[in-house]
Amino acid sequence: MARQELYPEVLNGRIYVAGGLLSPNTGYSAHFEAYDPAGDRWTRLATLPQARHHIALAAAGGLLYGIGGFSGGFPNWQAQPEVFVYDPAADRWRTGVPMAQPRAEGVTAAVDGKVYVFGGRVRASRDASHFNDHADTNLAEMFDTATGRWSRLPDAPTARNSAAGAVIGGKIYVVGGRQALKQPDGSLRQVNVPTLEVFDPAIRRWETRAPMPQAQGGLAAAAQGGRLFAFGGEQWVPEQKVFSESWVYDPQADRWSAAPPLPTARHGLGAAAIGNRIHVFGGALRVGGDAATDLHEVLVLAP
């Protein structure tokens, strides 16, 4: 299905992706599917309990956790607090423990059986039901799958939305994204940020690393071979554009370099690594919420 605003996850050698924004962007989906690289095939699975876009997946304890996201078609978006839990063995969803407050467009990752959620957008008022009724946050939270409880962590240094992240060596890397800056007339100015921040769950501490060479929002990221790869994205100011540029970050050298660009520029896409291949799929071909694609491209790296 052609869709954008995807936050996929890998579990047991398969790539899972849930929900998404359709074209036109007044539509959104409960669609859920998995890609099996061994058979080069996508398979449709049990649909989400509720349709969502910007819903993020994280794998822990053999289960998938679908975190937050928006309900509603543009511009009537409303961040949601629900967590849905998927059991691959039964192909079944159940309702999990919700977040303390609704959230979407954040970065989600799992380390040692704990699910982490950083940044994104939260409701600026209890009844927020419009895209502009939300605000960027630097809120950091953790869900312990063993105890079934959420807890607050040290705030991220930067409040932002539409960033991307991946886990390397037990640390969570959060890169890129943008800030929605409210203007005097009530409109939002979407400004990309190149910032790279790393959270160490073992000591619950943030560290700021070398920024991306180019600020890209609505990008995708994946870790492979101890390195962080970042793909695509979009820009609203000073001019609207969709990126094909891709980058690779070496944590040992704290250095970015260019990676092979996407054959097809897009934003709101998903990325996931299995073996020496990084799969990049979905997204939108134009700035904004339309022109969703079902395109699936693969970056093959040296073994």
Q: What is the pLDDT of residues 5-46, one digit of tens each?
A: 999 999 999 999 999 999 999 999 999 999 999 999 999 999
Cα(104)–Cα(233) distance, rounded to whole angstroms?
Answer: 17
> What are the sequence ranges of the domains in the chain?
9-300
pLDDT of the residue at 186: 80
Give the C-alpha separation, 267 to 289, whole Å: 10
Q: Contacts by 295-301 with C-beta closer than 8 Å and gap 24+?
A: 295/264, 295/266, 296/35, 297/262, 297/263, 297/264, 299/229, 299/246, 299/259, 299/260, 300/276, 301/224, 301/225, 301/276, 301/277
pLDDT of residue 258: 98
Which CATH code of 2.30.42.10, 2.40.10.220, 2.120.10.80, 3.40.50.12160 fits the domain covering 9-300? 2.120.10.80
- The pTM assigned to this predicted structure is 0.98
pLDDT at 273: 98
Higher pLDDT, 188 or 201: 201
Of the pLDDT bands very low, low, confident and very high (cuts 50, 70, 90), residue 187 is confident
The yes-or-no verdict on residue 166 having pLDDT over 90 is yes
The pLDDT score that the predictor gives to residue 82 is 98
Residue 213 in this model has a pLDDT that exceeds 90? yes
With cut-offs at 50, 70 and 90, classify the pLDDT of residue 104. very high
